[in-house]
Amino acid sequence: MKLDNRLMAIALIVMGVVGRIWLRWLMPSAPHFYISLNGASYPIFMMDMFFWVAAISMIAGRYLGKLYSFIVPFSIMGISDIYFGNTWIFIFTWTGFMMMGIVAYKRKNATYSSYIGYGLASVILYDIWTNFGSWLGWYPHNLDGLILCYTLAIPFMLWHILSSAIAIPFLSIPFEYARTLHDEVSEPNGA
């Protein structure tokens, strides 16, 4: 492990933990809008800290490497969950962010636009995985429960896709710029 990568990983972990806690203070009453179905209220729009950890997980995988695609999201979630608390669903959320880091690692040599596209695809993978965990924990273990779980998760997934479509490119720009500069220095005169 290069020292630069270790320092950048520490910086990303600090950014992730501080950002996740700070965003929680900014949005304490989320979700904001509800719909009632069969006597129960479900969110139709919500805001959470997902996009922050998702973007940092993607950055760790693409720009720091394979090991960091595990270490950075695991550390962010572990440290910040000491503050927030969690339930057994952490098994799915933590591994979901690690999956996002792995997707980014696998696309480390892809074009920037391809990386963003795979980032958004990994958001869907994350939601499929974590909603499966939700189904195991809080819904009837039959086909109707599975369909209900995934149907009610659509607003969350739409927010995750929208927020990540903004956060992943925006937070990745400085890293992409540094990578471009590094490549230009490594190959002077286009050779």
CA pseudo-torsion sign 51, 56, 91, 141:
positive
- At 29 the pLDDT is 56
Mean pLDDT of 49-75: 93
Report the amino acid identity of residue 171.
Answer: L
- At 132 the pLDDT is 97
Q: How far apart, in whole angstroms, are the C-alpha atoms of residue 73 and residue 92?
A: 12
In the chain, the domains with their CATH numbers are 3-25+32-173 (1.10.1760)
- At 48 the pLDDT is 64
Closest CA to 133 of 150, 120, 119, 118: 150
Q: 154-186 and 112-138 helices cross at what angle (nearest 10)?
A: 150
Closest CA to 176 of 118, 122, 119, 108: 108
For the stretch 90-129, pLDDT in tens is 999 999 999 999 999 998 889 989 999 999 999 999 999 9
- At 25 the pLDDT is 75
Separation in Å, CA 97 to CA 72, 141, 161, 177:
9, 25, 14, 24
Residue 110 CB neighbours (<10 A): 14
Mean pLDDT of 32-48: 58
- At 2 the pLDDT is 66
DSSP-assigned letters across all residues of 36-70: EETTEEEEEE---SHHHHHHHHHHIIIII-HHHHH
Separation in Å, CA 69 to CA 12, 89, 93, 99, 156:
11, 20, 14, 8, 24
